[in-house]
Amino acid sequence: MVWEHAGHAGPVRKRERPGELGFGGDEMSVKHATASVFLFSHCLEGWQLGLIEHPRPRRLLIPGGHVEDDESQAGAAFREVAEDTGLTGARLLEAPAPTLPAGFPHKRVPPPWCITEQHVPADNNLGEPHVHLDHQYVAVTDTAEPAREPAHPFLWYSAELLPELDVPKDTRLLANVLFSCIGDLADEQLDSASILRPFIAAAAP
């Protein structure tokens, strides 16, 4: 299994081998690491989710993009927020994860809240259908106004507007859960078990 990485010099491809299956049992295809961010800000009316108007799928998306060769997934999340929205100073909220032993010799990288496989059409990184291994983060910002011109049109949306928006299904589902607990997450008022409770409830049939 040979993995690709999309960096400044172009994609390094994971080549398909006849009969080889991916983790999900599907025949292997090219897979690129990406990072995206559910970015929230608090205003007088309450919490709002930041969405960009992306020109290619022509719908509203959370900020995100490909992980470059010289950065981690968390680093890409920070960069994509700054580029896509013009905002600086976003704070990643830590996903529940075990702590490392005292004296652990390597730098810890903030983990994403989830990693999903998203089948996408050809884009400007690869001229054929492929898969994004999307590392999804949650972040908050105290400043709702961009410090510089964003790469895409960018606006804030309340939970009440979410059902009316043209967003992907996965974004809508996760945003609904996050809206229910973002205040406590931002204030760091919940322990790991309490943080997971809204997600467990949303997964119930």
Q: Which of 26-30, 52-56, 59-63, 117-121 has the highest mean pLDDT?
A: 59-63
pLDDT value, residue 28: 53
Topology of domain 5-97+105-203 in CATH is Nucleoside Triphosphate Pyrophosphohydrolase (3.90.79)
Question: Any idea how long the chain is?
Answer: 205
Q: Which two tokens stand for residue 166?
A: 């043209």
- Residue 36, φ and ψ in degrees, nearest 5: -140, 165
Nearest residue to 64 via CA among 137, 146, 9? 137
- pTM for the model stands at 0.84
The answer on pLDDT for 35 being more than 90 is: yes
pLDDT value, residue 26: 52
pLDDT value, residue 27: 55
> Could you give the 3-state DSSP secondary structure of residue 198?
helix
Question: Where are the chain's structural domains?
Answer: 5-97+105-203
Query: What does the pLDDT look like over 49-79, one tens digit per residue?
Result: 999 998 776 789 999 999 999 999 999 999 9
Positive/negative CA dihedral, 165, 166, 167, 172: positive
- Residue 95, φ and ψ in degrees, nearest 5: -75, 150
CA torsion, ordered 80, 85, 87, 92, to nearest 10 deg:
-50
Positive/negative CA dihedral, 91, 93, 97, 99: positive
Q: How many other CB atoms are there within 10 angstroms of residue 178's CB atom?
A: 20
pLDDT band at 152 (very low <50, low <70, confident <90, very high): confident
The answer on pLDDT for 119 being more than 50 is: yes
- Amino acid sitting at position 109: V
- Quote the CA–CA distance of 140 and 98 in Å, as a whole number: 22
